[in-house]
Chain A
């Protein structure tokens, strides 16, 4: 019994840490621009597929290297590509709509999401690609009956490292201070000498970079990558960001991990908790029900919303 609970907690942590990393991208953009970047999930997808292509290419020209070298190369290829896409999105699609009513950038974001998905379908085809197993997936027994694989450990570790890095950047550096100032009130920040356009572009770059790594982790964990793999994680990460308090960095992280845990434990125990009335076919809804309940009692999310002061 305890073993099952521990295993579900591990499952939840793995899934949740990925949600947390992707949620950071959503929350940063919302905090500064008030825009929900629906295309962020597709950036995750592009990261995974770019890494796949890079790894397959390197394997062809230099076979026999340590698998971790391929993995690192995949990451190194995916991050700049995703950053470029993030920057282009901001520059081409969102910059001009900064003073437009809220609906316009929202619809544009949905449009960019479709565009990226279709481009990926054209470039990488419609079929599901098998992502190479570069980090071993042999299960390690933590406690009797509870297993974790090195891929999962890497996922949790990388996510934690990136989250820590981002928090350090935002809280302890000058650049981070500029970001916080822009998030609070970008007009006053501009008056204080902060290059707000640059900061906003940097926010997209950081978010997209994180998304790239998240994409590679998702593909490694499940072994598949395909052109529509970004939609569902994107949606769930957005939910996680709202759950934790949108605009709030800590909220995104807490929300992500919490959502992962809720999903895993919910799917595992909902049947016994409701006496068989509900079963695991409701596992997706379970997370949204929790979200609804939290928002009813605390509309700004668990850790509170933090949006720009539109003075």
Chain B
């Protein structure tokens, strides 16, 4: 009897180091199908690179070695699908989530993660409302649209022309950004001559562009994604509209250059929260490693996804626990040298010291302008 009791006690002690803890699941959600599938895949690759780096370096938490596993899901940029996928991740027992990509899916999903107590870091959702809801476990590694919009609006009105026409794609991201740009333009003394709308599935903008043309704008602002920015640039040229064109981070990608073909010129600009990849402290090295591993160029948000995943891992290491309740306080005060910048979050969950950079098209690439 005594022997078996000792045996049971021994087994119970060993069970403390059970198999379940050694694989830590981190979720990642982005649109992997649809018109911005290339950006979703880019995010996932960035997060995966961070996970692989951590696994290669070997992480020990709570006394034993853990391996991280990325659980990638597709939300199709649709809020309804995003919620279903979020619930699925919660049920699968993920300890943290990097995602989503679009503001329109991240905001509703953040409530699901908050109810389950799972921290979520978005690498690309820039709508200000995400961090204004007062949820405890919501962060982002990218500057939000209050900053991006005001910089874009002020730049447009100051440097490109006083008469500004704004088009948005009616998504949470596009609308939020366009509203901030409008404030920025008016604040810099510019005039919003037209405010038009499209949808995130449209490819025909002739009607609204013709209407805008009649108001003689000097600048056209498009708050939306590159999948539509490309065709829009073509149609701006087709209608003979002689105006400068600027878009936000959604259109600041290599993809838009491909889609626009010869309609893109040095009159085309874009803005991106954060520093240019070459000026990011880990940017050059990251781009090379990314290209070597995945065979494609970084689109835009992969470095932010890398930092988001790394933030979760660093917080777990600091708290010496993979339990969300335990590492969340560490996540709030984490600081580490990320690929994009020194990562630290303010009390709302926004990244501290988010910069915004303006780019101009130059010979096949986006070139960063000195502000």
Could you list which residues of chain A lie within 8 angstroms of chain B, going by C-beta atoms? 1, 3-4, 7-8, 11-12, 14-15, 121, 126-128, 130, 133, 137, 139, 141, 145, 147, 149, 152, 222-224, 226, 228-229, 232, 263-269, 271, 279-281, 283-284
Contact = CB atoms under 8 A, between A and B. Distances in A.
B261 A130 contact: yes
Given A128-B259, A137-B234, A222-B231, A267 B207 contact: yes
Interface string B249-292: 00000010011011000000000000000000000000000000
Given A141-B240, A281-B170, A223 B210 contact: no
B211 A223 contact: no
9 contacts: A4-B210, A8-B211, A12-B207, A127-B255, A130-B230, A137-B237, A139-B238, A141-B240, A280-B198
B118 interface: no
Contact of A263 (B195, B207, B259): B207
A147 B239 contact: yes
B197 A280 contact: yes
Interface string B210-252: 1101100000000000010011001001111000000000000
Nearest to A11: B206
* Interface band, chain B: 35 or more
A8 B33 contact: no
A203 B204 CA distance: 30
B196 interface: yes
A70 to B, nearest CB: 15
B17 interface: no
Contact of A4 (B38, B214, B227): B214
Interface in B173-221: 195-199, 201-204, 206-208, 210-211, 213-214
B34 A223 contact: no
Contacts of A281: 170, 197-199
A117 B170 CA distance: 25
A22 to B, nearest CB: 14
B35 interface: yes
A4 B33 contact: no
A178 B303 CA distance: 64
Given A121-B33, A133-B262, A283 B234 contact: no
Contacts of B231: 222-224
A139 B261 contact: no
B261 A268 contact: no
Nearest to B169: A281
Contact of A223 (B33, B230, B239): B230
A147 to B, nearest CB: 5
Contacts of A145: 240
Contacts of A264: 206-207, 210
Given A152-B238, A224-B203, 5 more contacts: A11-B207, A222-B234, A223-B261, A264-B210, A267-B211
B196 A279 contact: yes
Interface in B23-40: 32-35, 37-38
B12 to A, nearest CB: 49
Contacts of A226: 35
7 closest A-B pairs by CB: A281-B197, A267-B207, A126-B37, A11-B206, A4-B214, A264-B207, A222-B203
B259 A8 contact: no
A214 B32 CA distance: 28
Contacts of A280: 196-198, 207-208, 211
Contacts of A7: 210, 213, 239
Contacts of B38: 126-128
Given A126-B33, A127-B38, A267 B208 contact: yes
B210 A133 contact: no
Contacts of A222: 203-204, 231, 234
B214 to A, nearest CB: 4
